[in-house]
Chain A
Amino acid sequence: MILLYIILIPVLGALLSWLTAARNTALCRWIALCSLLLDLGIVTAIWLGNGAAENGWLYHLQAPWIPQFGISLHLAMDGLSLVMLALTFFLGALAVLISWREITTKTGFFHFNLLFVITGIAGVFLTMDLFLFYFFWEVMLIPMYFLIGIWGHERREYAAYKFFIFTQAGGLLMLLSILALYFVHASNTGVYTFNYFELLNTPMERTLAMWLMLGFLVAFLVKLPAVPFHTWLPDAHTEAPTAGSVVLAGLLLKTGAYGILRFVLPLFPAASQEFAPWAMLLGVAGILYGGQLAFAQPDFKRLIAYTSVSHMGFVLLGAFAFNELAYQGVVMQMITHGISTGALFMLAGVLYERIHTRELSRMGGLWPVLPGMGTVTMIFVMASLGLPGLGNFIAEFLVLLGSWQANRLLTVLAALGLVVATVYSLRIMQKVFFGQTERQYTLPDLGLREWLIMAPLVLVILWLGVYPQPVLKTVTPNTENESVKQKAESKKPTAGNLFAPNSFQHKKQPL
């Protein structure tokens, strides 16, 4: 039941904050914040309680929803879901905090949408029923559309449409694939079901499997985003309000990565193995292309947006490398990118509140005026270029170490991305904080609320950099789960023994 509570709490918070906003906007903000903190607390408690050494699935909930069609309310949590949820609620709470001053119009509806996006994301990370998964996938979409379209910057409507059309188009392809998988499975076994565990290892013709895999993959690649499906992202990130950018970059993109890890690879192991070189190539293309475009951008938020394209290339590269190192690197990358890019977007937002521009050419020389903010930015810029000691390094190093074993040439090219990352990251510091000021700014440095936001982010990125073991340990069982599935395809574990405790242990194979 706890899984259902995790999803219902933000829904309840969303409704409550919408209702109270008309009378008291402060109360509305507090409700939103508290509901997310409550969820964060629950997830942390689970993590501390039995996250670490547990094998397989921590919690599991299944109730019939539309039994005629084999649709059920099926939630389950493993290490991967757990860490992703922790990230979701952590960044979600910070997103509420960062909008404390920024959002003054339609506050209630804003928080309603924000919490609903987070609900959708949490649902995506928890659900084990493909129909329900699609449902949550769409739930994320519409509130996000409103967030961009209503509270965004100048070109918000264009960006919102673009975001919607891209993701919706990808989502529809995924829906087709889900349905096709559903019918293929039914024609094999006579059982109509959307249950993830039963659909695993559905025997399929090679070409059919490839097409269905591509259907799923396109949806996730659009969300990730991978070159050449990335062009919605710079617009959406740039035009969204700060909280929107944070949720987009920090969380929404991760659903794409999560989808690849959870669905594409296990459902279509052979097809994805076959497609792997191409997917890795797309990843590398993203790393280099996104990096170069980031370097060229004149707009602060747009620059950060393109760095996302570059960083998520590592996710794609690692996900299709098919080994544990790269897999754990990918999960680390999802988390650390969420934090570092989220933080950079928040800093861009905080800066925008002060100088009302995102143009890099109109900044510069802010270091003496905003030393605190400069230091925090420096930390996250360094995280973004993969400085050891900060979380992103662990992620990128593990991804590259893993992908080296899969494809050397592409890994070398991806490693060049580290140089490109240095080029664009240092450009941020130079353009924003160093150099001379033309205008005499007298701006307030980070306030208490802003420090309350930045301090946890800094601590977490440092913690992940020097002691990433808790995360790596938590996501280990799944890794073996994946790889075991890859290797022991012929054995076809049934749904029953998948939930048996330690069922993965005896199948452990050296990589």
Chain B
Amino acid sequence: MLYLIPALPFFSALLLILGWRTFSRTTVSVIGCGSIGISALITLAQGWQFLQSGHDSMVQHLWTWVQSGSFNAGMDLRLDALSLAFVFVITFVGFLIHVYSTGYMADDADYGRFFACMNLFVGAMLMLVLADNLLLLYLGWEGVGLCSYLLIGFWYKDPANGYAARKAFIVTRVGDTAMAIALFMLFQYTGSLQISSILEKAPGMWTTGHATVVLIAFLLLGGAVGKSAQLPLQTWLPDAMAGPTPVSALIHAATMVTAGVYLVARTNVLFDLAPAAQTAVAVVGAATLLLAGCSALVQKDIKRVLAYSTISQIGYMFLALGVGAWSAAIFHFVTHAFFKALLFMGAGAVIVALHHEQDMFKMGGLRKSLPGVFRVFLIGSASLAALPFITSGFYSKDQIVWLAWSSAKGHTAYWVIALAGAFLTAMYTFRMVFLTFYGSYRGHAAPHTPGSSMMIPLYILAFLSTVAGFVELPHTLGHVTLFSDFLQPILPAVQMLQESTALEWTSQLLAAGLTFLGIYIAWVWVIQQPDGMRRFAEMPFMQWLRGFWYKGWAFDELYNELLVRPFVRTARLNRRDLVDKVYTTLARVTEWCHDALARTQSGLLRWYIMGVLIGAVLILSVLIWRIYI
């Protein structure tokens, strides 16, 4: 039964690819949503069965995929607690987003193609998390990259979308290449790419901090930062917002971008053996969450705010992974999937309501015209900003903030950055909420209310983003550990340095206080004192800083100058192939010799006679010379 979970989306994608031009919209919707829905139900059944069985994992061998010499990779699926959490999110959130898409994309001419790509994506993503070996994981990994490319460039008429799509594919491919090299190394040392066998062998093979395993872990991290849009490969995600909003919700918020988190969590043993790499994970996460948080603060486009916020939240997950708080990272992944999908789809509802207007400065006051959307968006925002006690975001983020300090691999600096990030998050989230829903309407088009196919998924997700937090509560507040217990067999528990209830309270209250402070500043900034803030923002340095943050810390320019331009320029210069010049030169020399010789054949008889004469004289002279002198 396990194989049906990815097989159904794949099969429906195949059907849709074959028939997207002939099927009616209803057929497409039924195939598109239905297959994911059934997958979700099978996941439930399968998950129940798995939990009942009490095994750590269940493996299904489908067929031998590649077998060459000692190398063997099967089409093997493996379900365990970690993959179950991911499969659950992918199928359920995926299903909700599919249903939402039937409303969002209703007027699009390429309705069938959209669902074909979406289903292909879900299938590939499921392969990624269900893979029993790293090669199969790589299949899913690249497969989701392809779908991401196809869907970012979905509205292909605008070359800018095509550019964004290619950028996403190429940048992530850079990371993928690092990951591929990690696979080569893993195979060389462990003789297998099967994840469980690698993880079993690794501790016996390498001592902690051994150069090889550190290198492997770093290369895996390279793959992870590419897919998860972390520093230094984060540049593609903001541009990826060129795709339709459901795509941003599904691929670029809830599922695909967290594949990096999955990969690091999945190979946690290797990272445990490589402290340097694990520290790098934490540092990357911490740096990214700050950078992206700052960039989110100054964006105009509502989707770009959410994109930077996604980068920032995944930064939190990386930070958690880096300090060894594996289950905290996965917990934040789950809650983030709920509330970020909710926010994206809420933003999508706003965008559709305003006839594809994405600039927040042309919105405002939508609280009154779109009350339903406003309510769910507010719930999502509260969760993202980690409003204390009632939101899931609070519990998942609070856990990371606390563990960043208190775990054995934690550090005060991480904690400070995480708190600063929490402050930034609250500020940019509510800046977005206030700009969009408060004040007065600054646009022109009259908003129209979205249909029920779009609203129902939003309500469900709003519910989930609130209650999902209660499966894991901190010591100070009830101490529920359902989620981390569930992941226990796969992900080791975090090692604590200090367990002090007082300090934990301090941390939580500080985080809560910063959240409120952030919201308050956003309130002052947008609603209360917009003029004062504008004056402040127009100081020369602030203006420069705003521009710098707006373009994402100028990473794009850096890469353009450093990599893209030289490549394109040399390619242009060498368009005619320098090597060919060597051969054409050779040909030209031959031709030149031919010309020179041909010129002697003048057709003038007397010249020929002269030639004969000179030749005869020369030969005679030589002979006489040789004989007589």
A433: Cβ under 8 A from any B Cβ: yes
B65 touches A466 (CB 8 A): yes
- Interface residues of B, CB < 8 Å — how many? 53
Chain B hits for A394, CB < 8 A: 66
Q: Which of A19-27, A55-63, A199-207, A228-236 contacts B (4 or more CB under 8 A)?
A: A228-236
Pick from A297, A405, A435: contact of B188, CB below 8 A. A405
Pick from B67, B156, B169, B181: contact of A367, CB below 8 A. B156
A317–chain B nearest beta-carbon distance, Å: 13
B176 touches A418 (CB 8 A): yes
A401 touches B187 (CB 8 A): yes
B587–chain A nearest beta-carbon distance, Å: 9
A387 touches B68 (CB 8 A): no
Chain B hits for A415, CB < 8 A: 177, 180-181
A434 touches B142 (CB 8 A): no
A424–B390 CA distance with the chains assembled, in angstroms: 50
Residue picked from A298, A323, A400, A434, most chain B C-beta under 10 Å: A434
A298 touches B575 (CB 8 A): yes
B142 touches A388 (CB 8 A): yes
A468–B65 CA distance with the chains assembled, in angstroms: 7
- Please report which residues of chain A, range 372-416, place their CB below 8 angstroms from some CB of chain B when the two chains form the complex: 375, 378, 382, 387-389, 393-394, 397-398, 400-401, 404-405, 411-412, 415-416
B551: Cβ under 8 A from any A Cβ: no
A227: Cβ under 8 A from any B Cβ: yes
Chain A hits for B153, CB < 8 A: 434
Chain A hits for B63, CB < 8 A: 467
B417: Cβ under 8 A from any A Cβ: no
Interface bits B568-587 vs A (CB < 8 Å: 1, else 0): 10111011010110110000
B162 touches A292 (CB 8 A): no
**A378 nearest CB neighbor, chain B only:** B150
Pick from A234, A295, A297, A404: contact of B184, CB below 8 A. A404
Chain A hits for B184, CB < 8 A: 400-401, 404, 411
B579 touches A231 (CB 8 A): yes
Chain A hits for B141, CB < 8 A: 388
A398 touches B156 (CB 8 A): no
B139: Cβ under 8 A from any A Cβ: yes
- Please report which residues of chain B, range 574-604, place their CB below 8 angstroms from some CB of chain A when the two chains form the complex: 574-575, 577, 579-580, 582-583
> Known contacts A382-B146, A388-B142; is A296 also within 8 Å of B162 by CB?
no
A325: Cβ under 8 A from any B Cβ: yes
A400–B579 CA distance with the chains assembled, in angstroms: 26
A505–chain B nearest beta-carbon distance, Å: 15
A388 touches B139 (CB 8 A): yes
B149: Cβ under 8 A from any A Cβ: yes
Pick from A328, A423, A427, A433: contact of B68, CB below 8 A. A328
A430–B169 CA distance with the chains assembled, in angstroms: 13
B159: Cβ under 8 A from any A Cβ: yes
B156 touches A433 (CB 8 A): yes
A293: Cβ under 8 A from any B Cβ: yes
**B575 nearest CB neighbor, chain A only:** A296
B75: Cβ under 8 A from any A Cβ: yes
A293 touches B162 (CB 8 A): no
B174: Cβ under 8 A from any A Cβ: yes
- Please report which residues of chain B, range 156-177, place their CB below 8 angstroms from some CB of chain A when the two chains form the complex: 156-157, 159, 162, 165-166, 169-170, 173-174, 176-177
A388 touches B157 (CB 8 A): no
B567 touches A436 (CB 8 A): no
A426 touches B67 (CB 8 A): no
A325 touches B571 (CB 8 A): no
A357: Cβ under 8 A from any B Cβ: no
A289–B142 CA distance with the chains assembled, in angstroms: 24
A436 touches B17 (CB 8 A): no
Chain A hits for B66, CB < 8 A: 394, 397-398, 468-469, 472
Chain A hits for B142, CB < 8 A: 387-389, 393
Interface bits A281-304 vs B (CB < 8 Å: 1, else 0): 000000001001101111000000
A398 touches B174 (CB 8 A): no
B162 touches A401 (CB 8 A): no
B69: Cβ under 8 A from any A Cβ: yes
A452–B269 CA distance with the chains assembled, in angstroms: 50
> Known contacts A228-B582, A293-B577, A400-B180; is A389 also within 8 Å of B69 by CB?
no
A473–B72 CA distance with the chains assembled, in angstroms: 13
Chain B hits for A500, CB < 8 A: none
B536: Cβ under 8 A from any A Cβ: no
Chain B hits for A418, CB < 8 A: 173, 176-177, 180
A324 touches B69 (CB 8 A): yes
**B137 nearest CB neighbor, chain A only:** A388
B328: Cβ under 8 A from any A Cβ: no
Interface bits A44-66 vs B (CB < 8 Å: 1, else 0): 00000000000000000000000
A422–B570 CA distance with the chains assembled, in angstroms: 18
- Please report which residues of chain A, range 482-504, place their CB below 8 angstroms from some CB of chain B when the two chains form the complex: none
> Known contacts A325-B69, A412-B181; is A293 also within 8 Å of B575 by CB?
yes
- Please report which residues of chain A, range 451-484, place their CB below 8 angstroms from some CB of chain B when the two chains form the complex: 466-469, 472-473, 476, 479
Chain B hits for A378, CB < 8 A: 150
Pick from A401, A419, A511: contact of B170, CB below 8 A. A419
Chain B hits for A422, CB < 8 A: 169-170, 173
B44–chain A nearest beta-carbon distance, Å: 27
A392–chain B nearest beta-carbon distance, Å: 12
A426 touches B575 (CB 8 A): no
A86–chain B nearest beta-carbon distance, Å: 19
**A445 nearest CB neighbor, chain B only:** B21
Chain B hits for A328, CB < 8 A: 68-69
B65 touches A467 (CB 8 A): yes
- Please report which residues of chain A, range 85-129, place their CB below 8 angstroms from some CB of chain B when the two chains form the complex: none
Chain A hits for B577, CB < 8 A: 231, 234, 293
A67: Cβ under 8 A from any B Cβ: no
A463–B153 CA distance with the chains assembled, in angstroms: 27
**A417 nearest CB neighbor, chain B only:** B177
Chain B hits for A433, CB < 8 A: 156
B170 touches A426 (CB 8 A): yes
**A468 nearest CB neighbor, chain B only:** B66
Chain A hits for B139, CB < 8 A: 388-389, 393
Chain A hits for B67, CB < 8 A: 469, 472-473
A111–B225 CA distance with the chains assembled, in angstroms: 54
A426 touches B166 (CB 8 A): yes
A185–B71 CA distance with the chains assembled, in angstroms: 39
B138: Cβ under 8 A from any A Cβ: yes
A371: Cβ under 8 A from any B Cβ: yes
**B112 nearest CB neighbor, chain A only:** A371
- Please report which residues of chain B, range 500-537, place their CB below 8 angstroms from some CB of chain A when the two chains form the complex: none
> Known contacts A227-B579, A296-B571, A434-B153; is A419 also within 8 Å of B173 by CB?
yes
A91–chain B nearest beta-carbon distance, Å: 24
Chain A hits for B75, CB < 8 A: 466
A434 touches B169 (CB 8 A): no
**B150 nearest CB neighbor, chain A only:** A378
- Please report which residues of chain B, range 127-159, place their CB below 8 angstroms from some CB of chain A when the two chains form the complex: 135, 138-139, 141-143, 146, 149-150, 153, 156-157, 159
Residue picked from B69, B570, B579, most chain A C-beta under 10 Å: B69
A289–B141 CA distance with the chains assembled, in angstroms: 27
A296 touches B181 (CB 8 A): no
B547–chain A nearest beta-carbon distance, Å: 29
Chain A hits for B568, CB < 8 A: 295
Chain B hits for A227, CB < 8 A: 579
16 contacts between A and B (CB under 8 A): A295-B567, A296-B571, A297-B575, A367-B156, A387-B143, A388-B139, A393-B142, A400-B180, A415-B180, A418-B173, A422-B170, A434-B156, A467-B63, A469-B67, A472-B67, A476-B68
- Which B residues are within 8 Å of any A CB, using their own CB? 17, 21, 63-71, 75, 135, 138-139, 141-143, 146, 149-150, 153, 156-157, 159, 162, 165-166, 169-170, 173-174, 176-177, 180-181, 183-185, 187-188, 567-568, 570-572, 574-575, 577, 579-580, 582-583
Given contact pairs A426-B149, A434-B159, enumerate 5 new A-B contacts (beta carbons under 8 Å): A227-B579, A298-B575, A435-B162, A467-B65, A476-B68
A-B pairs with the 8 shortest C-beta distances? Answer: A388-B139, A296-B571, A434-B156, A324-B69, A404-B184, A231-B580, A296-B575, A328-B68
